[in-house]
Amino acid sequence: MNKPFISIIVPFYNVEKYARKCIESLMEQTFRNIEIILVDDGSPDNCGTIIDEYAAKDTRIKAIHKQNGGLSSARNAGLDIATADIIGFVDSDDWVEPEMYERMVAAMEKTGSDIVVCNIAYDYMNKTTYNEALAAKEAFTVRQPEALELLLDDKVFHNYVWDKIFKREIITDQFPSGVNLEDIRTTMRFFANANSVSYIPFVGYHYIQRMGSILHVHTTERCTHYLEARISQLEFLKAHNLLPQKWQYYSLRIINDGIREARDIARNLQFDNALREGFKNILKLIEPYKEECFALLKSKTQKRWKQLQLHPRLFYHTMRIGKQFQFKNNRKKRTYVYYD
Whichever domain contains 149, its CATH number is: 3.90.550.10
> What pLDDT sits at residue 77?
97
Same domain (yes/no): 103, 160 = yes
141 membership: H or E segment, kind and range: strand 140-143
Same domain (yes/no): 261, 185 = no
Residue ending a domain, among 208, 240, 258, is: 208
Residue 181 lies in a domain: yes
Percent of the chain scoring above 90 in pLDDT = 80
Residue 304 lies in a domain: yes
Residue ending a domain, among 178, 208, 238, is: 208
> What pLDDT sits at residue 327?
47
Give the model's confidence band at 173: pLDDT under 50 very low, under 70 low, under 90 confident, else very high: confident
Residue 72 lies in a domain: yes
Helix segments in the chain, DSSP class H: 16-27, 47-57, 71-81, 100-111, 132-135, 144-153, 182-193, 220-239, 247-268, 273-286, 290-293, 299-310, 312-330
Q: Which residues contact 53 (CB under 8 A, 6 or more apart)?
A: none
> What pLDDT sits at residue 291?
93
142: which DSSP letter? E
Same domain (yes/no): 137, 66 = yes
pTM: 0.90
State the residue range of the domain holding 316. 218-330
Residue ending a domain, among 208, 230, 250, is: 208
pLDDT in tens, 304-330: 999 999 999 999 999 998 665 554 445
294: which DSSP letter? G
Residue 213 lies in a domain: no
Number of domains in the chain: 2
Q: Tell whether the model's pLDDT for residue 213 goes beyond 70.
A: no
Q: Produce one character per residue of 83-121: b if its CB has 16 or more CB atoms within 10 Å, e if not.
A: ebebbbbbbbbbbbbebbbbbbbebbeebebbbbbbbbb
Same domain (yes/no): 152, 250 = no
Same domain (yes/no): 44, 113 = yes
Residue 339 lies in a domain: no
> What pLDDT sits at residue 125?
83
Q: How far apart are CA 242 and CA 27, in angstroms?
A: 39
Which of these ranges, 70-74, 85-89, 153-157, 255-259, has the smallest mean pLDDT?
Answer: 153-157
Q: Tell whether the model's pLDDT for residue 203 goes beyond 90.
A: yes
37 membership: H or E segment, kind and range: strand 34-41
Provide the mean pLDDT of the chain.
92
Question: Taking the mean position of all CA atoms in its chain, how far away is CA 290?
Answer: 27
> Regarding predicted confidence, which is higher, 194 or 135?
194
